[in-house]
A and B are shown apart, each in its own frame.
Chain A
Amino acid sequence: MSASANMNGAHVLLVEDDSGIAREIAEELESRHLAVTAVETGDQGLEKALSGAHDVLVVDRMLPGLDGLTLIETLRARSIRTPVLVLSALSAVDDRVSGLKAGGDDYLTKPFAMEELVARIEALLRRPDDTRQTMLRAGPLTMDLIDRRVERDGREIELLPREFRLLEFLMRRPGQVLTRAMMLEEVWNYRFIPQTNLVDVHIGKLRRKVDGPDEVPLIHSIRGAGFTLSVPD
């Protein structure tokens, strides 16, 4: 997967007290060439986070000793801006809100698919640098955010507003695996998992407009994970 290459060598600090899940996560991340430091308590986590340079933190919400949210709050209070992904067994939407309020950057509820975790870690590692730009480019695609125009190699693509928002989300993260849940959260701002394959249908519509019959497909499905906008070099 081309996406993983972009994360090569990034350092992840994993703070998780369930050793079984911690091992699974660590192995998965290492198989994708990420360096993982795993600790089991909040205090150890805080110590490591303060001392070492990590690219991203994965923190369980409920930890023995210092709990996950306090850990994040302490880090933020000391101006450590490392992106944090909060894991929680609690499904409560309130918990999500409090997790993000404490300074977490993303929130994932257990049980989760590994693909979902990896996609979110990748998204945190490669956050869009400048959200103020008015012109997006991704391979043959250009998007004018002011005129709301999209072109592929000079061919204008007519998009509905929702398709435009979806494509914008993809173009800001080229080459990155984006899960259905991430798209629902970011594009539609919905926090629930619909029973039907909503996102797939939206992507299907968009794909038919973006990838013409004779063109190289840009939008790809990734089995078990989601979708990606691949950009030929």
Chain B
Amino acid sequence: MSSILRGRQFELFRTARFRLALGFALAILVATLLQFSLVYSQMTSQEFRRSGQLLHREMDFLLSLPADHLSYVIRERSTDDLRIVINEAGIFTANREPVTGDLKEWPEGLVADGGLHASVMIPEEGAPYKMWFLADRLPDGRLLALGRSVHPLSEQKLMMRRASLTTIVPILILALVTGVWLSHRALARVKEMHEAVDRIMRGDIHERLPAGSESDDMQRLAGSVNRMLDRLEQLMHDMRAVGNDIAHDLRTPLARVRASLERVLSGPGAESPEVLRDTIGGAIENLDQCFAIITALLRMAEIDNGRRRDGFATVGLEDLARDIIDLYEPIAESEEVSLRGPVMVRDVEDGGGAGLPASSVVVQGDRDLLIEMLANLVDNAIKFTPPGGRVQVDIGYRAGHPAVSVTDTGIGIAPEERGAVLTRFYRSDKSRHIRGSGLGLSLVTSILRLHNAWILVEDATPGDPGRGTKLVAVFPAADQIRP
């Protein structure tokens, strides 16, 4: 219980608003005190300079007087200055015995050197006080001492101390209030953001932070967060779309199964073994399609997991291509597509690979997965190539990187669709009628990602996207592979 209370108690001190306000008030306080002390010390030095000037001026004047007249002047204080600016004056013998004037005693510490000296006077009654003295030697050997009280200055200083003490309280209060107000203004925006974030966390993913015109740091930060949220929302949307696509792709064959089973159950065909057999066969076929989709998704998840890198070995792309062509030749033939390759092509960019045997094009990888990758590319190319067309498998280097490419003379991929074809379930509008799980190229990208490889989508005929596609899998160069 006590710990909770203590926690509550400190909660106030922990809030940013309180700390900001307090910091602001402290800064104002320090500034005020600094100002006071500067003025104070300025006053002191100013008064010292002024006293010195006055005393020196008067001294020069008095020294210029004849000795008899001087005694009179001192005794009677007959000049204005002696009356107003000089508080004490006296003539002393060389032995510092008083001769005339109201200064009856040589002030302690005073030296007749033309310099200003401070001395504390102890009157018969009242508190001791400080005075500035100037003494000089008269032509007749006697000494003249002039004194100026610092009393007015002391009073001013006292007033100032009082003033500073009385003003510091309202200043502090004003500073605190201003601090609270300013920090409230700043923190109100933080609070708005907090609330917006809370709403987002509660699931309102369309909510955004108040970013205004992004004219200050806080708003710019909010703007960045908003852009991040946009990206995340887009990703979520994509994922949901994938989920919907999966659901839809599974739903279609399942709906067919259900409809056919229902029809045969309630229809006259239930008596006929042939009809039953056909229906069940069809149902199994549709279910197999569902399983194929699920299996492909699971495989992708497994490949994306990336555990398989441990089993990587050197795989020759030429053998790989030869095997795939051997496997797919009959099907290409039955689709009236000519499947050719593998041909060793030179690197168009830097001529790399020229003169090297095709068997030199090797990569580090998982043979089974690479076979699957290339099979999907070839499978896809054959599927999207009309009869009479051609599918060509080439191996070689791309800017020094081992590469294998599959070129077809199919319907081609429009430049704006090239990123999308590699995502799950994407089907170009042109290809909706062609059967398939739609996951082939996604599987390809998953496998290539595992190999730190990437895929390029190009025109089979550069500059003419309508005349076929070239998909190039580019692998990391041998020296870029981790040991």
Chain A residues engaging chain B, CB cutoff 8 angstroms: 91-94, 109, 111, 113, 161-162, 188, 190-198, 201-202, 204-205, 223-224
Contact = CB atoms under 8 A, between A and B. Distances in A.
Interface string B301-338: 01000011001000000000001001110110010000
Contacts, number: 61
A166 B311 CA distance: 29
Contacts of B231: none
A192 B308 contact: no
B371 interface: yes
Nearest to A111: B291
A233 to B, nearest CB: 28
Interface string B281-305: 1001000100110010011001000
A81 to B, nearest CB: 28
A198 B328 contact: yes
Nearest to A197: B331
A198 B281 contact: no
Interface string B430-445: 0000001100100000
Q: Could you say which interface size class chain B belongs to?
A: 20 to 34
Given A195-B292, A201-B330, A94 B311 contact: yes
A171 B250 CA distance: 39
B379 A195 contact: yes
B281 A223 contact: yes
Task: Give me the 8 closest cross-chain CB pairs, A-B, nearest first.
Answer: A192-B372, A201-B330, A201-B331, A91-B298, A191-B368, A205-B330, A92-B302, A162-B326
Contacts of B323: 188
B326 A93 contact: no
A195 B292 CA distance: 8
Nearest to B368: A191
A113 B368 CA distance: 23
Interface in B45-66: none
B40 to A, nearest CB: 83
B257 interface: no
B401 interface: no
Contact of A192 (B330, B375, B383, B436): B375
A182 B302 CA distance: 23
A194 B295 contact: no
Given A93-B302, A191-B368, A194-B375, 6 more contacts: A91-B298, A94-B308, A161-B326, A190-B327, A190-B371, A195-B379
B383 to A, nearest CB: 7
A93 B382 CA distance: 27
A113 B369 CA distance: 24
B295 A193 contact: yes
B299 A91 contact: yes
A13 to B, nearest CB: 27
A196 B298 contact: no
Nearest to A165: B326
A162 B327 CA distance: 8
A92 to B, nearest CB: 5
A195 B327 contact: no
Contacts of A191: 368, 372
Contact of A198 (B288, B308, B327, B436): B327
